[in-house]
Homo-oligomer: A and B are copies of this chain.
Amino acid sequence: MGAPSDLKTSVTPRRELGDLAGADQRHEPLVLPDGDRAWLIEALRRMVLIRAVEERIGDEVAAGKVRCPCHLAIGQEAVPVGVARSLRPTDRVFGAHRSHAHYLAGGGSVRKLMAEILGKDTGASRGMGGSMHLTDPEHGLLGTVPIVGATIPIAVGAGLAAKLDGRGDIAVSYFGDGATEEGVFHESLNLAATMRLPVLFVCENNLFSSHLHISLRQPSDSVARYADAHRVPAALVDGNDVVAVARVAAQAIETMRAGGGPAFIEAVTYRWRGHVGPREDEDVGVRRKDDLNLWKGRDPVRRLFEALRSEGAVGSDALRAFEEEARAEAAAAWAQAELDPFPPPEALLDRVYGGRR
């Protein structure tokens, strides 16, 4: 810009993600970096755990054992696992309604998650929040809430606190493509950019907000353009490639810890289940069913596993072991949680304010 311009009337292509949004693209094994096998194997184990736990939750919902709404992130495991790699417990992380994976990727207890979903006093939020309101301060997760976009400015404030603290900590805000339609998303990016706050904005663009494909809600299918407008450095990445996510996240976080301003990651991914609940066919959006089967070919877990196997780092037996371990942990946690007590009646009023009134 600078010079006055005539009206730009070029019509915009509505699909700008190209092959990143292609259900039939990127089915091949990941390209692995040199070294670093230990973490890759740990990442595989963690993704397998997240999936097993969410599958178990889905089964319990289907069995009528759960009443609170559960939004499953099955298929999206690579994003939080990739980001979490560069985080430390003093960082501050915030999520939304679909945050089981954010919670578990950060190291959250499976038992407390199950107990929370069952409304037990032993739950992550002592039974007061359920699936949509998770917290895990030990690992830096300060809160996940279901009001779309609500934690984005809160994360900016955590970034402000981190900057005032001056210890190189950062804040991470996880949200979806739908959240970028809330005005507060833009206010938050502008605030972070203007104050140069260490906030990592991570948009899990799974192309859907509830039943609506992004093409019905926005003039382009890529949201990184908003970061460009707010002058926040942005990276666009395959959200089903844990290696790629970890790489851009590490880059961004390193800059931030060194005093850089905010950064934005658009991770393109896809959820395998309905918007809410365990069923796959819940939704009614654009071509959802046909796409789903193709997207399963882009499975972030399988793609990492096959890459590791092809070089002999992990075998099918190891994968099976991970899966059994994970299912066993989920089952044990569920069994324990079922036995746990509910909050006492006084909790209803005693937890409203600090101290009595």
Interface residues of A (CB under 8 A from B): 1-10, 12, 16-20, 181-187, 190, 193-194, 216-220, 222, 224-226, 228-231, 233-238, 244, 247-248, 251-252, 255, 260, 263
Q: A7 to B185, Cβ gap below 8 A?
A: no
The secondary structure that dominates the A interface is: mixed
Q: B193 to A187, Cβ gap below 8 A?
A: no
Smallest CB separation, A152 vs chain B (Å): 10
- Supply 12 further A-B pairs (C-beta < 8 A) apart from A3-B20, A3-B236, A7-B248: A1-B236, A2-B16, A4-B20, A4-B236, A4-B237, A5-B237, A6-B247, A7-B252, A181-B190, A185-B186, A220-B231, A228-B229
Query: How long is the Cα–Cα vector from A268 to B216 in the complex, in angstroms?
Result: 33
Smallest CB separation, A253 vs chain B (Å): 10
* Chain B residues within an 8 Å CB radius of A181: 187, 190
Name the contact of A2 in the complex, choosing from B1, B12, B17, B186 (C-beta under 8 A).
B17
- Per assembly, the copies of the chain total 2
Q: A7 to B183, Cβ gap below 8 A?
A: no
Query: How long is the Cα–Cα vector from A190 to B179 in the complex, in angstroms?
Result: 13
* Chain B residues within an 8 Å CB radius of A5: 234-237
Query: How long is the Cα–Cα vector from A219 to B184 in the complex, in angstroms?
Result: 17
Given A182-B187, A186-B183, A225-B229, is A263 in contact with B7 using a C-beta cutoff of 8 Å?
yes
Given A2-B17, A193-B219, is A234 in contact with B182 using a C-beta cutoff of 8 Å?
no
Counting chain B CB atoms within 10 Å of each CB, the highest count among A6, A19, A248 belongs to A6
Query: How long is the Cα–Cα vector from A186 to B247 in the complex, in angstroms?
Result: 31
* Chain B residues within an 8 Å CB radius of A18: 1-3
Smallest CB separation, A243 vs chain B (Å): 11
